[in-house]
Chains A and B, each alone.
Chain A
Amino acid sequence: MLKVRVIPCLDVKDGRVVKGVKFVDLRDAGDPVEAAKAYDAAGADELCFLDITASVEARSTLIDVVSRTAEQCFMPLTVGGGVRTVEDIRALLNAGADKVSINTAAVNRRDFVREAAEKFGEQCIVVAIDAKKVSAEGEPDRWEIFTHGGRNRTGIDAIAYAKEVVALGAGEILLTSMDRDGTGEGFDLKLTRAISDAVKVPVIASGGVGTLDHLVDGIREGGASAVLAASIFHFGTFTIGAAKEALGAAGLPVRLHGGDIEEAGR
């Protein structure tokens, strides 16, 4: 049976993890490769690196991080942040990324999704959607795409956009609620359900996880295939194992073996 996926996401800037990752036994909490290894051992189902580096020059630093991670972690790796050209994608895949996540570049030029999918296959093209509710109280729910960390409203309807990018070749949607991101109040379940029902490809729910019940809700109520979270894992609030146990206890299929955690006897 296909398992629901638990995906920790690391924000990387200039080759270092932003927001320290609190793990016991971590030699260097700022090194993304060290953090990746810890998540690998803990049995994370995939890893996500989000590059928030501003400068183009620092791109080679990210490639180096991806390459060193792929040398040591034999698990799926998605990399996003500033992916604008076919060459960006090629460099990340060659370095060892399995999927790349495209955000603003797809909003600005939809055809980029088609070009990328044709060149590298739909299975490795993730389109990241940052959506915010724009309907007023009492109106039917409506969400729009926002860019620049939620500052720029685009006027594009989130559901229509999701359908459009999937038709162009997106193999997966990484859906972040800008209303919930960083709040710890849980996913926007209505948004997640609306997008998941609208497209045939898997949807990763993101933004707002504060408790383990939120993860269960994202799958069960939201219809997501995977759940992504950052702070609850980084700050040690919950372990990957605890997240899996909570999902399993709720009757959802999870992968309880596979990392190195059993050998390590932890």
Chain B
Amino acid sequence: MIPPAPVVLIDYGSGNLHSAGKALERAAREGGSGKSVLVTADPDVVRRADRIVLPGVGAYADCRRGLDAVPGMVEALTEAVMTRGQPFLGICVGLQLMATRGREHGDTAGLGWIEGEVVKIEPRDPTLKIPHMGWNSLDVARPHPILEGIPTGEDGLDAYFVHSYHLNAARADDVIATTSYGGTVTAMVGRDNLAGTQFHPEKSQRLGLALLANFLKWAP
């Protein structure tokens, strides 16, 4: 019998894989999806994945270089996500990599899945600190299955952010949720089988575990 395809967390030398992996395992256990979670740098495993999570911390160009440094990874990822339509979740820089390009320390090409550029956040109030670091609320622009059952808004659950750049999406309907920090900051994007969170679900306690459990059940 062929074992069911796992949920794959891509290891490309960036990101806090340990936390993201453990959070996905717990979400799988508690959410009842029973899916297995695999951390891998093997493009063949990515190609066969049931669903894919791309983490990422640090600088945009570094993350892109890291992804390119794994032979065949970008091709395998593109095939699984864009050709086969497997559910995809990008976290933090993993979300940003979906953009057309990043403008952190020069121009870097993204994967080009969501039209837009990754630009520095510039709060209108100059006394606001950068990075945007800490817990902030989500303003949902359009309902999405991975937010199902999660209280959002000023009275809802908060998400944990730590970033200085965000994806400025060219198409408004690619934005699922925003947050407010001296202006509007992109918090979640998505289209078809693509989803991404600028915040860290693996560090967002109840909100994060519920979101990951929803992602594991998501059938776009």
Contacts and interface: CB of A to CB of B under 8 A. Distances in A.
Interface stretch (A12-20, A134-142, A184-192, A251-259): A251-259
Contacts of A202: 129, 131, 133-134
A225 interface: yes
Nearest to A226: B134
Interface residues of B, number: 40
Interface residues of A, number: 39
A95 B134 contact: no
B160 to A, nearest CB: 6
A124 interface: yes
Most buried by A among B58, B59, B133, B164: B133
Main secondary structure of the interface of B (DSSP, over half): mixed
B147 to A, nearest CB: 16
Most buried by B among A74, A121, A172, A259: A74
B183 to A, nearest CB: 12
A74 B132 contact: no
B129 A201 contact: yes
Contacts of B154: 1
Nearest to A223: B127
B19 interface: yes
Contacts of A64: none
B205 A225 contact: no
A74 B205 contact: yes
A202 to B, nearest CB: 5
A93 B16 contact: yes
A122 B18 CA distance: 20
Contacts of B156: 257
A74 B27 CA distance: 11
Interface of A: 1-5, 40, 45, 67, 70-72, 74-76, 93-96, 98, 118-124, 171-172, 200-203, 225-226, 255, 257-260
Interface of B: 16-19, 22-23, 26, 57-59, 62, 129-137, 151, 154, 156-158, 160, 162-164, 180-181, 200, 202-209
12 contacts: A1-B180, A3-B134, A67-B18, A71-B18, A72-B22, A75-B160, A76-B203, A94-B17, A95-B18, A122-B164, A123-B131, A172-B133
